[in-house]
Amino acid sequence: MVEFDLPAHAEPVGITLLHVADCPNLSLARDRVIEAAERAGVGGRVDERLVHGLSDAAELGFTGSPTILVDGVDPFADTDLVPSMACRLYRTDEGVQGAPSVEALVRVLQR
């Protein structure tokens, strides 16, 4: 687990980045989560957790790497997604990317 402290401006939020080893989109997701938290004015920390296999994925609600949990919930969950050890893609205004947009994350964090 890797922790990154976020500035404490308001209510603390627990953010977890679930990922597979060598995930090519982990740093993009991390950077966007931290920027979104700063823009949304939330505090807390970002934990990173390595997912080791399908049983781990099923237990954690991991539907691809990276999966972002906010207070334990995947706000980008799609009912069609199943536990998977593959890369996860997100729809953004700029097309399909390896992480949600900063704007989408800000909306989630401001709820």
Residues paired with 6 in a beta bridge: 44
Q: How far is CA 6 from CA 12, 37, 57, 70, 72, in A?
A: 9, 7, 26, 14, 17
Structure tokens at 109: 């964090």
What is the structure's pLDDT at 11? 66
Helices and strands in the chain: count of H runs, count of E runs: 3, 6
What is the structure's pLDDT at 103? 97
What is the structure's pLDDT at 43? 81
What is the structure's pLDDT at 74? 96
Q: Is the pTM of this model over 0.85?
A: yes
For the chain, which ranges sit under pLDDT 70?
1-11
Are 66 and 97 spatial neighbours (Cβ–Cβ below 8 Å)?
A: no
Q: Which CATH superfamily is domain 2-109 in?
A: Glutaredoxin (3.40.30.10)
